[in-house]
Amino acid sequence: ILALILVKPDGSSEAAERMPIAELLMSQRRWGRARCKRFLAGVPLSENKELGTLTERQRNALLERLNAR
């Protein structure tokens, strides 16, 4: 999960670039909709935001929050 967020999209993995953040998080064990919503509320990002459209600042905020858990 961290690798998908950390790596900037280069067009090689189009499916990953179009994946919404919530879908990626909920694909992980023990991550349901409620946990995902609580997590993303602390970052202020939409659940539907696609990985390929994240800015560097948003990527760093997600990574910091994931590492804090």
The pLDDT tens digits for 35-53 are: 999 999 999 999 999 998 9
In the predicted structure, residue 9 carries a pLDDT above the cut 70: no
Residues 6+ apart with CB under 8 A from 49: 20, 21, 58
Cβ–Cβ < 8 Å for 17, 52 = yes
Q: How many CB atoms lie within 10 A of CB 23?
A: 14
d(CA 65, CA 48): 18
Give the residue-averaged pLDDT of 52-62: 91
Q: State residue 57's pLDDT score.
A: 93
Q: What is the mean pLDDT of the chain?
A: 85
State the alpha helices, DSSP H only, in the chain: 2-6, 14-17, 21-26, 33-41, 56-68
Full-model pTM: 0.77
